[in-house]
């Protein structure tokens, strides 16, 4: 089979190419850029021309692009997209229901939203890890000169959403009532893992007041609600920012913490902030070296397993994560990974597993074994092609 892959600055390009080629399919890479601000007829025509020239059996991309869906419908070839971002508003574009689409999302609750709405082109597919590549990353000599010469006790790789001005901070002109309502709502949500109630808890008067300060409106060619935009892009992101900072601060007060985040100027007491890390070439070494790797999921991900969690386990690292329901469909808590349910639970489990190395190492080995057996990019490529 000949596969035309749209390549952009996404995670997984090399790993998915390797997976398709392992299954003996031909992959042709096509550099792609789509800001998606408005319909782009020129980009659509260029894409149609490239498809005609290469003659693929299907078009593949990480994340969903309406312009690609339009092109594939006109040429009547399958468009396969695997969405790893959340939130991802383009999923609500009117093209989502085109019969040539095969759209895969990693969050089961999001899949159910589309399924229950009668959309048959959206499917559930968890993320994956390239264990072959990750296992081969054993040469640490290149990195011995870096500040993390010694093994980390606890490490976190990811954004704290402090790098730039966030939407929530732009709402300076909302009323004191609205601000109080939102602060109370966010405080309540931070106490709950496994169910996100933000979107359903935004009444019309609160939405109207927020829109005056931050005029977010649904796109004309999409069906997302204004509640979705404010819940997922504004409030859940703000919750994640404050939650990650609070939890990491609490961890650093009791344990050695190494942080890899884009905001190199962020300071947390007793924490070493190494700044941004190359996720593909460098982060796996962190996952391998750290005694405990933390995952604190972006709150807009309802039940899904984040890519970070797969990569930690796929590198053979010990994963300590907040509760996400989809984990339980594939992995066994305290056998393949460990989850926490509160700040105090997080701190207690860090203390326990730092003291119990044999248990920690056994859990990391079990996680790697299960990823290798069922959750590599080759497995996902097989599932995608079987669906077709």
Domain carrying residue 98:
2-125
67, 191: one domain: no
CATH code (residue 28): 3.40.50.1970
For residue 320, list its beta bridge partners: 294, 338
Number of Cβ within 10 Å of residue 281's Cβ equals 11
Domain count, the chain: 3
342, 363: one domain: yes
Q: Is residue 80 part of a domain?
A: yes
232, 294: one domain: no
Cα–Cα distance for residue pair 170/216, rounded to 1 Å: 12
Q: Is residue 388 part of a domain?
A: no
324, 288: one domain: yes
What does pTM read for this prediction? 0.94
Q: Is residue 121 part of a domain?
A: yes
**Tokens in use for 114?**
């589309």
35, 155: one domain: no
Residue that finishes a domain, picked among 125, 144, 178: 125
| pLDDT at position 121 | 98
249, 180: one domain: no
**Tokens in use for 264?**
């190199």
Kindly write down the DSSP assignment for every residue of 197-226, as one continuous string: -TGGG--HHHHHHHHHHS-----TTB---H
99, 120: one domain: yes
Q: Is residue 181 part of a domain?
A: yes
139, 258: one domain: yes
307, 330: one domain: yes
For residue 82, list its beta bridge partners: 62, 104
Cα–Cα distance for residue pair 39/179, rounded to 1 Å: 36
| pLDDT at position 89 | 94
If DSSP codes are grouped into helix, strand and coil, which group holds residue 302? coil
CB 233 within 8 A of CB 216: yes
58, 90: one domain: yes
- Tens-of-pLDDT digits for all 388 residues of the chain? 999 999 998 889 999 999 999 999 999 999 998 876 566 788 999 999 999 999 999 999 999 999 999 999 999 999 999 999 999 999 999 999 999 999 999 999 999 999 999 999 999 999 999 999 999 987 665 555 555 545 689 999 999 987 666 789 889 899 999 999 999 999 999 999 989 999 999 999 999 999 999 999 998 888 999 999 999 999 999 999 999 999 999 999 999 999 999 988 889 988 999 998 899 989 999 999 999 999 999 999 999 999 999 999 999 999 999 999 999 999 999 999 999 999 999 999 999 999 999 999 999 999 999 999 999 999 999 999 998 8
If DSSP codes are grouped into helix, strand and coil, which group holds residue 340? strand
18, 102: one domain: yes
CATH code (residue 362): 3.40.50.2000
């Amino acid at each position: 089979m000949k596969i035309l892959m749209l390549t952009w600055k996404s995670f997984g390009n090399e790993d998915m190419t390797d997976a398709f080629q392992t299954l003996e399919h031909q992959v042709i890479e096509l550099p792609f850029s789509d800001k998606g601000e408005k319909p782009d007829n020129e980009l659509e025509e260029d894409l149609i021309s490239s498809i005609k020239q290469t003659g693929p059996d299907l078009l593949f991309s990480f994340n969903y692009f309406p312009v690609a869906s339009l092109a594939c419908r006109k040429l009547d070839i399958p468009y396969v997209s695997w969405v790893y971002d959340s939130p991802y508003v383009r999923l609500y574009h009117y093209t989502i229901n085109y019969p040539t689409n095969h759209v895969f999302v990693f969050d089961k609750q999001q899949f159910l939203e589309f399924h229950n709405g009668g959309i048959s082109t959206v499917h559930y597919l968890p993320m994956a890890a390239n264990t072959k590549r990750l296992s081969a990353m054993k040469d640490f000599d290149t990195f011995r000169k870096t500040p993390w010469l010694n093994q980390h006790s606890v490490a976190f790789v990811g954004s704290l959403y402090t790098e730039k001005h966030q939407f929530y901070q732009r709402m300076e002109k909302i009323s004191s009532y609205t601000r109080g309502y939102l602060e109370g709502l966010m405080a309540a949500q931070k106490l709950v893992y496994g169910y996100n109630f933000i979107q359903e808890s935004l009444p019309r008067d609160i939405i109207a007041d927020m829109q005056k300060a931050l005029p977010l409106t649904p796109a004309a060619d999409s069906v997302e609600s204004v509640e979705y935009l404010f819940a997922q892009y504004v409030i859940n992101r703000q919750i994640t920012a404050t939650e990650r900072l609070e939890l990491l601060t609490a961890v650093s007060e009791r344990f050695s913490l190494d942080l890899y985040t884009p905001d190199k100027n962020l300071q947390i007491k007793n924490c070493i902030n190494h700044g941004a890390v190359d996720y593909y070439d460098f982060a796996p070494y962190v996952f391998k070296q750290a005694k405990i790797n933390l995952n604190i999921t972006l709150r807009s991900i309802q039940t899904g397993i984040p890519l970070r969690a797969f990569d930690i386990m796929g590198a053979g690292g010990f994963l300590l994560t907040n509760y996400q329901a989809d984990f339980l469909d594939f992995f066994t808590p305290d056998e393949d990974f460990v989850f926490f349910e509160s700040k105090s639970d997080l701190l207690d489990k860090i203390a326990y597993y730092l003291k119990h190395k044999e248990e920690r190492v056994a859990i990391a080995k079990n996680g790697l074994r299960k990823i290798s057996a069922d959750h590599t990019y080759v497995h996902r490529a097989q599932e995608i092609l079987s669906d077709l």
